Structure 1
């Protein structure tokens, strides 16, 4: 049985994304035709490119749907009045595609303005959750709770 990863990403991107980056991002989201030149990763070593963040269908291995949305953050402009791009992605990633997908995440985060927590990765086999944390030098996958130190805050909707 194959392992899958539930990838969730929520970031703001620079308001002035270069057109080639915006075109490639839209293609990755399933919203545009493939550009002639792809910069997000070395796709050929992975058997060719695919729309890694295409949403709009039920998730293959997790409850809920794979979704992707890229919009301008018109209601929360930057101090200079510019409007960042707001991106949210939730997608199911096969274990064989995890490395290339994380390369694409790294490429994407180089264009982000969000610092700190930007998402998570959940493993379908073990149920392990890792936080995606962006910093000046890239990003890290950080275990959600170290072994034996799980903390729980009860919540009730009563």
Structure 2
């Protein structure tokens, strides 16, 4: 039996997100045609590109649905008046695609303005939950443990 990962992300992106990034993000969400040269990861090494954040169906391995939504945060304008993009993604990831999905998440987080907690990853096999935490050098997966027993696992793990 294969393991699956329940991936949840909630981030803000700058109001002036470059058009190529916005177009690729819309494609990843299943809202647009594939860009000529997707840059979110080296898709060819993974057998070709797919819409990694496409939602709208029941989750394959977890309760609930895989969903994705990108909207303007009109009620949370920046100090300069710009309206950031607000993105939420919940998707089921097969263990064979986990590496490429984390590369896509890294690409996305390089464009995000959110710092600190940005989501979680839950393993269907062990039921382990890891928080996704964005920091100045990228992001990390932080194991969930009782207070005082935190163990940080950097991505990519070596």
Give structure 2 stretches of 5+ with no counterpart. Answer: 151-158
* Counterpart position of 1:122: 122
- Aligned length in residues: 150
| Deviations, residues 63-112 of structure 1 (Å, cap 9, x unaligned) | 00000000000001011111100000000000000000000000000010
Structure 1 consecutive aligned stretches of length 4 or more whose deviation exceeds 6 Å: none
Q: TM-score, normalised by structure 2?
A: 0.92
Matched, 1:107 2:107: yes
| Partner-residue secondary structure (3-state), 1:140 | strand
SS of equivalent residue, structure 1 residue 130: strand
Q: Distance in 1 between matches of 2:4 and 2:126?
A: 10
Between the aligned partners of 2:106 and 2:17, the Cα distance in structure 1 is 16
Q: Secondary structure at the match of 1:114?
A: coil
Equivalent in the alignment of 2:63: 63
Specify every segment of 5 or more residues in structure 1 that has no aligned partner in the other structure, as ranges.
151-158
**In the alignment, structure 1 residue 34 sits paired with structure 2 residue 34:** yes
Matches within 5 A, 1:3-82: 3-82=3-82
Q: Distance in 1 between matches of 2:52 and 2:4?
A: 14
Q: What RMSD, in angstroms, separates the aligned Cα atoms of the two structures?
A: 1.6
Structure 1 residue 147, shift from structure 2 partner: 10
Partner of 1:155: none
Rounded to whole Å, the distance in 2 between the matches of 1:53 and 1:38 is 14
Give the structure-1-normalised TM-score: 0.92
Please tell me whether Structure 1 or Structure 2 has the larger radius of gyration of its CA atoms.
Answer: 1
